[in-house]
Structure 1
């Protein structure tokens, strides 16, 4: 045992002492005061878990510093000499800087457009909340905690607005392009990394989510980065890389808990490698004691990731288990897998061309996966396992299958498509080569295919700029301009929540069919506004029957959220109902 020698070691030592001090001297009763929570707020067992983990992490940090020499990696010197090459060439740096500028420019137009449902809930329920409440509450699954913290910082610095709340999504989205570049660079080379990052840059869905005040681009960023570092750590065996991997997983979990599916993919690929040599990567697998060494480090990294995740969520976990974990998704089109495919096709909005593009994409995915499986089975299985298990779990749970729940795998999909394009180009070049022989032909045809994909995808990007995601303000203005004296307006279900909380608090609100019946009894001349009809049909079927029978649609305001039209209707008079 020896005292710390470097500045870094001293910092870790002091951080460990700080953690132990917090655990020892701040008791359960003080957390409500420190977090400035309302009187009567019960954090239950959250503070106890927080203190226990602080004590554990503080003790581990001090032990690592004091006992570091005893547990020094016997191949540490070799690892350092074979450390991953993170350096970029001048051409790569220039490319990434240009990529960053262009990607940012593509995500600025319409950034200040009206918020949609989930964004409003994020802003009103979480971003506007006091800091203590932000880190200690998890009432529903709309809480993406790290994104909430980022958006709160942004809105505090720049003032509350749609663009400031969405700014972290832009930054995470642009960062994910760098992450994809690094992962592609490692697995399929620099040219593929450049074209792949450009392809994702002009992806309609990537631009959409980069302008969405939710944590999905952050989840994408940490999913790709964690996968890249996972592959590097397996090959190099460096403890530093394993710690970085643990922190990336923890931060991904802090954004959204579906990061656990990415972790499951890494675990599945690792377990396959333990038993099947063809799934192994990295020098340590091949050493005499490689299996033991390969087993210990990832397991320790996973334990660190889990404990840090628990630390970050500790104060909010009691509410998560009591409320958010039990959110209900009722049977609707949103639970139908075919609906997800349809949403992807509709996003391209180019008629039969959309079907052709998606069909070609699926073909490229299949060919690419087969090719990647032959070249690197470990990478192939971890990329497929995560979205597959995610979908299977949601199907078994009867959960809504929104496309955003699979967005974390977008980087994996693009990498596999790039590989698939290489296969197609090789087959085409082989056919052409019968009459024309050129060694560069497969590469040229592959590049041409990817450039064609980029051009097609770029035509869908402007669709993000024409409309807001949901157009609640236009519906409000239309009704206010056309309502007569004595007319009342009721917004129902989700629309009622939106107008009462944010867009039009002066309108009546009907949360259920009983509210609507009461309002109809009191007001004969009535306008009714709704959105997301599948939710009403699933949760309020009797209300939907009334809307269909008693109201006529007079205007619908579309948005880029498919199926998210804000519908304005008017109550029919009794004569109309009788004639109907």
Structure 2
């Protein structure tokens, strides 16, 4: 039973989450956010659907454009929907955790999400990932309840949530496809036991059909362009200098590394520990919600398989929708371990409370990194270059980031899209400044730049740190 005190706890947790997400909300936009602003949010409403781009999260972009129209163009206004849905995702996850494991576990899960480095980061990111996390948690609630107590209203709502999730980001389809596979397995199991009701077939099917029809309707203006773009992803990925981005093991490593920082072998140890706790938590959750953990597992596996099949990069952010589910499984796993220790020692133990306290302290400490730097400080590099350049100094933006500087900051810097252009530009005499974003990628893609920097022919004069993976921005000089 949920009482008034439980809702007060939820309210307090959401206030904590809000307080942690406001500082830094107006920090400089990073590359993807800037491209969203310049190529979509500044367009008339109708032109936003002229063609499909992998960079844009269409339902989120509509909300962000509405916020900008009302509040004016600023970083915090562009990001406002992410903040709102970040809080909503915590609330939805609290509801789901309460249904599965009770109010106390729900409070702990929600509080850990409120303190989570990743959750704060994405709640301040003008992309649709927190929105997708909200729809995924809501979809899980409807899915589990709809199979337990089939009602038309639940499955109609499920279909609407499915469509909104996929319209927010295409990878939302993977989550609901995973639920579809789990549903089919459930039907087979129920049928084998002779306990299958027709409502468990017809009503979920209704939800999936409604979701598919609504999704097709929402994407109709973009469908030809969408299919063409997705079809060409593999070709671009095949020549990507960062081939590790297509490795599932890199994805797991990077997800843990960005949580705890660059900690060497500790990253692999933490990853293994998280997997063990999730497995134990899944066993515990199976007592009240036997389909919950299998759905999470199928979603993660299916997403990796489909991304590999499509030749796409397997970014950790494609699994952000699972962050709340994994947090619940970890909490349940920790409780399972501490309960087992209590049984072995033959008495009560405060070990669970101690373990959770340590987790909360660690989460708070790790979350502090969100406030140490912007996601990517392109603004800092822009201001420095404009303030220090001389009339004789040529300025170049290296790689894809040139489009952000020219389109958003309206500078006269020249773009160097590839190594050949870089070599030609550097062959000309005279002083110059180079602005380099995504240095890990850029120094691979521009071997001449890497060689010249190693030889001391160009020197790094400023490093602007960023919390984004490979998010530093460098300014290099040649006198």
TM-score of the aligned structures, taking structure 1 as reference length: 0.76
Please list, as runs of the form range in 1=range in 2, the aligned pairs for 1:260-409 lying within 5 A after superposition. 260-277=173-190, 286=195, 290-327=196-233, 328-329=236-237, 330-332=240-242, 333-343=244-254, 344-349=256-261, 351=263, 355=267, 357-373=270-286, 376-409=289-322
Residue of structure 2 aligned with 1:98, choices 1, 4, 12: 12
Matched, 1:204 2:111: no
**Unaligned 5+ residue runs, structure 1?**
1-84, 573-580
Moved more, 529-538 or 353-362: 353-362
> Whose RCO is larger (CA < 8 A, sep 6+)?
2
Cα RMSD, aligned residues only: 2.5
**Unaligned 5+ residue runs, structure 2?**
none
Alignment partner, residue 399 of structure 2? 493
SS at match of 1:553: strand
Alignment partner, residue 509 of structure 1? 415
Distance 1:537 1:459 in 2: 32
Alignment partner, residue 566 of structure 1? 473
Q: Deviations over 1:524-572 (max 9, x none)?
A: 3221111113444666666766666653322221111121111111237
SS at match of 1:315: helix
- Please state how far the C-alpha of 1:261 moved relative to its aligned partner: 1.2
Residue of structure 2 aligned with 1:188, choices 101, 104, 123: 101
Residues 1:297 and 1:429: Cα distance change in structure 2 (over 3 Å):
same
Q: Deviations over 1:131-187 (max 9, x none)?
A: 1122x2343111101110110011111110001001110000000011101111111
Residues 1:498 and 1:279: Cα distance change in structure 2 (over 3 Å):
farther
SS at match of 1:123: helix
Distance 2:357 2:174 in 1: 32
Q: Deviations over 1:90-119 (max 9, x none)?
A: 112212222222111110001111011111
On the 8 A contact 1:250/1:305 being kept in 2, the answer is yes
Distance 1:239 1:540 in 2: 57
Distance 2:79 2:300 in 1: 26
Point out the structure with max Rg over C-alpha.
Answer: 1
Corresponding residue pairs, total: 471
Matched, 1:145 2:96: no
SS at match of 2:291: helix
Q: Deviations over 1:19-59 (max 9, x none)?
A: xxxxxxxxxxxxxxxxxxxxxxxxxxxxxxxxxxxxxxxxx
SS at match of 1:486: coil
Distance 1:353 1:326 in 2: 37
Alignment partner, residue 251 of structure 1? 164
Q: Deviations over 1:174-218 (max 9, x none)?
A: 000111011111111111111111111100000000000000000
Residues 1:400 and 1:551: Cα distance change in structure 2 (over 3 Å):
farther
- Please state how far the C-alpha of 1:391 moved relative to its aligned partner: 1.5
Alignment partner, residue 577 of structure 1? none
Distance 1:92 1:374 in 2: 23
On the 8 A contact 1:250/1:308 being kept in 2, the answer is yes
Distance 2:445 2:253 in 1: 23
Distance 2:138 2:363 in 1: 24
Q: Deviations over 1:341-397 (max 9, x none)?
A: 333224323747963654433331232234435664322211111111112222343
Distance 1:233 1:395 in 2: 32
- Please state how far the C-alpha of 1:311 moved relative to its aligned partner: 1.0
On the 8 A contact 1:488/1:523 being kept in 2, the answer is no
Moved more, 471-480 or 196-205: 471-480
Alignment partner, residue 556 of structure 1? 463
On the 8 A contact 1:494/1:530 being kept in 2, the answer is no
Distance 2:474 2:84 in 1: 33
Residues 1:453 and 1:358: Cα distance change in structure 2 (over 3 Å):
farther
- Please state how far the C-alpha of 1:408 moved relative to its aligned partner: 0.9
- Please state how far the C-alpha of 1:484 moved relative to its aligned partner: 4.0
Q: Deviations over 1:311-352 (max 9, x none)?
A: 111112122123355232225132233433333224323747
Distance 2:199 2:296 in 1: 24
Matched, 1:525 2:445: no
Distance 1:307 1:119 in 2: 30
Alignment partner, residue 41 of structure 2? 127
- Please state how far the C-alpha of 1:463 moved relative to its aligned partner: 1.1
Alignment partner, residue 155 of structure 1? 68
Residues 1:250 and 1:548: Cα distance change in structure 2 (over 3 Å):
farther
SS at match of 1:528: strand
Distance 1:331 1:211 in 2: 29
- Please state how far the C-alpha of 1:309 moved relative to its aligned partner: 0.7
Distance 1:350 1:323 in 2: 35
Residues 1:112 and 1:427: Cα distance change in structure 2 (over 3 Å):
same
Distance 2:266 2:410 in 1: 37
Q: Deviations over 1:416-444 (max 9, x none)?
A: 112211210111111222xxx34xx4xx5
Alignment partner, residue 115 of structure 1? 29
